[in-house]
A and B are shown apart, each in its own frame.
Chain A
């Protein structure tokens, strides 16, 4: 997925999220659980070049900032801290919609090295939506103090995406993080994210739904992921797609979605 077709709909997609891009700017999303030092990472990367506001139509705070790395202009969009991308709260919905429909060039997921296990749930969920993920394993100093060693090389291999150890508070590892993000965003590093595979009956049902909704979705939306959400009975994803993309086939999409829901 995510073949970069530089069509008009790209700009439209960003606009729907209230983002204005300058030329050749890369969009990077910053996701993570609450209390992982996500804001520290954001501040460390963007410095004072920040802008805060709200997500369009939501009372959810958004921060965005810019920085330049290796002569490349980057717009960093801070997503709300969440434990999952289930869309049961406004925060989760904003994070999910942006990852699925906002077309970021790459996503940084900040994870807390002191309790990595609980953070990996979100990492896997993000990797289900997009392969362009870099994991920032933050609070490495705190983990070391508690006798926790995180082997980020093994973690990178297991997850199939770059995992960079950082201590954002002290600025440690940020250059490596920026390098990795830029390489993933520009396709220099091609990731192979570990995919969650479900029971055969779930996979079969998802594949059936996928084939039915395919005609109504743009190619860059992750069809399998949308199918899995519909299988869970989550119609809000269809509404989000219509809100953000409104491409004329919404009625049909809505019908297909409802048909799945009804069964």
Chain B
């Protein structure tokens, strides 16, 4: 079975996924990579702001808020277990 790939912005709250690739380019791409968003990184959606943007994610042990605009350019596969936990919680 093939995993469906979806943008990070569509990861439901509390769910986790694995980064597959980034479509962002230039400085935005470098910045996202520096934040730990490289292929294979586990990422979990922690909470969403009242307006729905930005969303806070657990990326390799740090909670980082991303705008939808940026999360749209990060593509992930959904993890099998919905309650998947990141090993590196702060």
Please report B residues at the A interface, Cβ cutoff 8 Å: 26-27, 30-31, 34-36, 59-62, 88, 90
Question: Which of B26, B31, B35, B90 touches A35 (beta carbons < 8 Å)?
Answer: B90
A14 at the interface (CB under 8 A from B): no
Question: For the complex, what is the distance from the CA of A253 to the CA of B48, rounded to whole Å?
Answer: 46
Q: Which residue of A lies closest to B41 (CB)?
A: A118
Chain B residues with Cβ below 8 Å from A115 are: 60-62, 88, 90
- 5 A/B residue pairs, CB under 8 Å, sorted by A: A35-B62, A86-B31, A118-B62, A121-B36, A232-B30
Is the beta-carbon distance between A86 and B27 smaller than 8 angstroms? yes
- Min CB gap A40→B, angstroms: 15
A233 at the interface (CB under 8 A from B): yes
Question: For the complex, what is the distance from the CA of A84 to the CA of B34, rounded to whole Å?
Answer: 6
List A51-109 residues whose CB lies under 8 Å from chain B: 83-84, 86, 88
Is the beta-carbon distance between B36 and A118 smaller than 8 angstroms? yes
- Min CB gap B81→A, angstroms: 21
Q: Which residue of A lies closest to B35 (CB)?
A: A83
Question: For the complex, what is the distance from the CA of A84 to the CA of B36, rounded to whole Å?
Answer: 10
Please report A residues at the B interface, Cβ cutoff 8 Å: 33-35, 83-84, 86, 88, 112, 114-115, 117-118, 121, 232-234
Chain B residues with Cβ below 8 Å from A117 are: 60-61, 88
Question: For the complex, what is the distance from the CA of A33 to the CA of B59, rounded to whole Å?
Answer: 14
Question: Which of A34, A86, A234 touches B34 (beta carbons < 8 Å)?
Answer: A86
Q: Which 8 A-B pairs have the closest CB atoms?
A: A115-B61, A84-B34, A118-B60, A115-B88, A118-B36, A83-B34, A88-B31, A83-B35
Q: Which residue of A lies closest to B86 (CB)?
A: A115
- Min CB gap B26→A, angstroms: 7
Chain A residues with Cβ below 8 Å from B30 are: 84, 86, 88, 232
Chain A residues with Cβ below 8 Å from B34 are: 83-84, 86, 121
- Min CB gap B69→A, angstroms: 15
Q: Which residue of A lies closest to B27 (CB)?
A: A88
- Min CB gap A155→B, angstroms: 17
Most chain B CB within 10 A, of A34, A118, A232, A233, is at A118
Question: For the complex, what is the distance from the CA of A34 to the CA of B63, rounded to whole Å?
Answer: 11
A84-B34, A114-B88, A121-B34 known; A233-B60 Cβ under 8 A: no
Question: For the complex, what is the distance from the CA of A115 to the CA of B35, rounded to whole Å?
Answer: 13
Chain A residues with Cβ below 8 Å from B36 are: 83, 118, 121
Chain B residues with Cβ below 8 Å from A233 are: 26
Given contact pairs A83-B35, A86-B30, A118-B61, enumerate 16 new A-B contacts (beta carbons under 8 Å): A33-B62, A35-B90, A83-B36, A84-B31, A86-B31, A86-B34, A88-B30, A112-B61, A115-B60, A117-B60, A117-B88, A118-B60, A118-B62, A121-B34, A232-B30, A233-B26
Chain B residues with Cβ below 8 Å from A35 are: 62, 90
- Min CB gap A261→B, angstroms: 13
- Min CB gap B6→A, angstroms: 24
